[in-house]
Amino acid sequence: MTAAQTRAREDGFSYLRAIACIAIIVLHTVFSSSLLYQDSLTTVERVVSDAVANCMMWAVPCFVMVTGALLLNPAKELRYQKLFGKYVFRIAVLLVVFCLVFRVFDIFMDHEPLTAGAFLQGFYELFTGTSWSHLWYLYLLIGLYLLMPFYRMVAKHSREADLRYLLIVYVIFLSLLPLLEQWVDCGFYIHVSTIYPFYLFCGYWIHKRNPQMRAGIAWLLLLLSTALLVVLTAVRLQTGIAQLEALWGYSSILVIAQSAGFFALVTRCKGRGIVRRILLQIDRCSLGIYLIHMIFVRLFLRYWGFNPYEGGVLAFVLLIVVIFAISFGITWLLKWIPGVRRIL
């Protein structure tokens, strides 16, 4: 592979992370709005809001798939010193810092008394994972990084058939059988607790072992799964069948198909000119945007009482653009600080 081809494929990862970052802001803004103003929503508003949120669930899996495509590559050296010094340390520092930042924000905005206990609550939330909900992604990354040496051994010594077998087992036992258990208990299980290692290996498999996945197949996976998510969201709200909620979790076979299709399509894109430069800049700030944006989601919706449903689609679009722009701007400025740049 030439240097230009390698750069193009790496750019594809940047495009995917940038788009996924924006999708997460859409997800959190729409979901938070529908939750906060649920009592005043019409049926159509509720269906559209839930459908939009559910159709954005591919974003975090695609982040994990990019991680798998990059770090499971046997050609990439990953010594323990680099694993802990660069990857684990960075996320651990961000977790501590933002747990405390969000604790200070809550104290200030909720007018809590300024006591030592109020600040120590931040460390309790850090340990128990009860700080702001979107920080779960940092806990996920730390867990994946700690097991990465063993995941890399599996990837390095697996044949094509072995990887396919592993992905099939993951899908059956962590996606399909849990869906079946919404109606009937299943006694079969494997000793894996979450779907996220599947996304690591899936990203690696598509990128390294099956890089030429046909565009038609990728489009079919993406469009069919997205259409089903929209239709089944409406069915869920109309019928009250609670079991359908399992179809828009990260273990859902629909989210798996949607994520795989999106990953295969976007990572092969070849951006040019200003679009490429914009997406690369967003990618460089994507983790900071992810961590910071919820501050402004809460400010606009909860504390400042902005109701985007009163302004319709345009109000939502403007709100999302403003939240993204502020989060991007703050992250971009923070990255000029040498110590901060290393972790953010």
**pLDDT category, 112, cuts 50, 70, 90?**
confident
CA 252 to chain centre: 14
In total, the chain counts a number of residues equal to 344
For residues 248-258, give the mean pLDDT: 95
Q: Is it the case that residue 197 has pLDDT exceeding 50? A: yes
Instruction: Flag the least confident range among 13-17, 47-51, 75-79, 209-213.
Output: 209-213
Domain-embedded: residue 335 = yes
pLDDT digits (tens, 9 = 90+) for 136-152: 999 999 999 999 999 99
Q: Is it the case that residue 7 has pLDDT exceeding 70? A: no
What pLDDT, on the 0 to 100 scale, is given for residue 3?
Answer: 46
For residues 87-101, give the mean pLDDT: 94
Question: Biggest alpha carbon distance in the chain?
Answer: 60
For the chain, how big is the Rg over CA atoms in Å? 21
CA 204 – CA 260 distance, rounded (Å): 11
Domain-embedded: residue 287 = yes
* Beta carbons of 127 and 99 less than 8 angstroms apart: no
* Beta carbons of 276 and 226 less than 8 angstroms apart: no
Domain-embedded: residue 194 = no
Domain-embedded: residue 330 = yes
Domain that holds residue 305: 25-41+48-55+274-344
- Total count of domains within the chain: 1
Domain-embedded: residue 301 = yes
Q: Is it the case that residue 56 has pLDDT exceeding 80? A: yes
Domain-embedded: residue 68 = no
CA neighbor of 296 nearest in space, from 109, 23, 95: 109
* Beta carbons of 206 and 213 less than 8 angstroms apart: yes
Helices 196-204 and 148-156: angle between axes, nearest 10 degrees:
40
CA 179 – CA 259 distance, rounded (Å): 18
Domain-embedded: residue 325 = yes
| Continuous segment of H or E residues that includes residue 14 | helix 3-36
**pLDDT category, 325, cuts 50, 70, 90?**
very high
Q: pLDDT over 70 for what percent of the chain?
A: 95
How many CA atoms lie within 13 Å of 306's alpha carbon, on the beta-carbon side?
A: 20
Domain-embedded: residue 282 = yes
pLDDT digits (tens, 9 = 90+) for 305-322: 999 999 999 999 999 999
